Structure 1
Amino acid sequence: MSKDHEGSVTEGAPVDWEVLARFMAGESPADEADAVRAWLAENPARHDVLRALDRTLDRAAAPASGVDVEAALRRVHARMDAPGTPAIPLRPPARRAPARSAGAAPWLRIAAAVLLLIAGFFAWQVVRGGGSAPLAYSTGVGQRDSVRLPDGTSVLLGPASRLTLAADYGRTARRVELHGEALFDVPHDQERPFTVRAGGAWVRDIGTTFSVEADSAAGVRVVVTSGAVAVRATEAPDGGELVLREGDRGRVAAGQVTAERAAATADDLAWTRGRLVFRDAPLEQVAADLRRWHGIHLRAGDAAVAGRRLTASFDGEPPEQVVRVIGLALGAEVTMRGDTAVLRAAPGATP
């Protein structure tokens, strides 16, 4: 449902949370209240939205000071009504806003509870057809954050990453799709296998903790911290799996799966502690990581630099310093053009 310029609602359109908030507060105009009742009658599951709001209101009788509810609702509307799968930012950037007065309209107090509910994503699942739409979690550039999935799986998402749950997640299987990097701690369930699709790879849990990087220029990388996973290329038959066990590293590239047994080191999971570590890394991989961690686009300005490899580590340094160190390590001069860094071989320098 959505509200037109006079405050009415239209059935079948995206949900207007302000209309629901006014209805909960008993402040809806008669025609708007009738439209809400008709919308609720269309699908009994929609009553779960109001019940969930009631529970949320018990925990939040009024919005916290300093929260601009109207502005927050506008941001939520923009995300929810956009085409495609909704992404839930795991930790949106802090925003400064003037405190609202204690005499704010009752529907705004309920709107604050709506925001709390949306943050828990329950209402989204119900209103969009009882969970029929996939859910996605995302992080911004340089941001790492964690989420606990409904089955108890813990996920730590790396910077500029996105995790999408299948629409039927948890029913007969637990399928997710990853763009970027993530660490998974999965409770094993033989009846509902947990599977990650990442780039050109499928990674199936056999009861484990494992890391997957899906945007590496060298293909999909998998590191197993405990337990085991089965890995196969997406175009390979179901039986073409390679099992990786604790301490193994795997790579999927060009439709092939390879393993380095007992080769994993602390460097492989340094990103979970906020560190960026390169060990003999090709420039393509360095560029991919810089985009996700710092929003910087790194390019080779000549063939000499393009073939060089980097060994370096960073722990919270500002982007300008990171680029400068990379240039020195590669024997290259750095030219910054906005958010693009161009590397060219420095005269007489050897990396």
Structure 2
Amino acid sequence: MNSNVPIPDDLLARYVSGETTPDETRQVKAWLDQSAGQEEELLRFQKIWETANVVKPPAEFHVDAAWKKVSKQIATQPTAVDKPSPVPPLTVHRNKDGVRPLNTAGKPSTFIFWRAAASIVMVLGLGWLGYRFFERTNEPAIAKVLETQEKTIEQTLPDGTTVFLNHNTTLSYAEDFGRDTRTVILKGEAYFDVKRDENRPFIIQANGTEVRVLGTSFNVRAYDKKVNVAVTSGKVQFSTPKAKTLLLKDETATAQADTIIKLPAVDLNAMAYRTRVFVFDRTNLGDVVASLREGYQTDIQLTGRLKNCQLTARFERESLDAALSVIAETLNLQVTRKGKTILLDGQGCP
């Protein structure tokens, strides 16, 4: 090999970092055998690398920091117009790849240092960019998030679907929602009025279940592992990893532990958080209180002796106080407030 032919800088960088292939290692060794000057250049290259200490895992690597460290080493070296200081003898110990001992003294070359620094930053920089590219391709898409706490909200999604979120609910979807797919993630409870699209099913992922529709109206309750779906129009495919069912208008089902159970009928009172309409027909007072508790998001308690009482009534957009006054008057009950808790008490019913 002609000693005047330079070796690629990126190959030297890989060599001093121990990342060369066997063929590349042989190529470097052959280059080193050309003259002592080649070993001197490799030694200076390696000193910059080790002193700068820029070899770090990808998560810790920062190009600017690496460049500053290398530049600091270069700044300490004499330039062409500086008077060089005496350089002490340098010794290269034989390593596993067979670099022979060298005892020499000489003037450091500014060009060599700059070329070495550029090669180091180039190789590490490319590795960092590759790492960041791989990392970004595995990142989830940026999501839009709708969230409620004490209040309910109604929102229109980019595809025209209307969604009404109950208290303490989160609905998220991708930035490009509606472009190719219509998928949302639900934690809590929401009522959907889905805009029909034959080519893009609307998909709801909720606590390990999936609801898939083309265009319909339905309610999904998924505050915990138990997920309930109630359909008010159209049809819905409700599935878990091990079960699947088709729900039609006025049908409802509950999924838990991969099992789906169809229920007798839709309980419209369960959607009163949106409609503010409660309909009770000879309904046990315990069920009445449960519906009001969910609809108004208020802690309402009932004494045990009232469990046999039944109520027939309809409340349409009434305030909670108005509804409780009607119940108390009808069944001869007392309404007591203790902090945020409301207690219903009375003599009981036959």
Q: TM-score, normalized by length of structure 2? A: 0.47
Task: Determine which structure has more spread, i.e. the larger CA radius of gyration.
Answer: 2
Q: Tell me which of the two structures has the higher relative contact order, counting C-alpha pairs closer than 8 angstroms and 6 or more residues apart.
A: 1
Q: TM-score, normalized by length of structure 1? A: 0.47
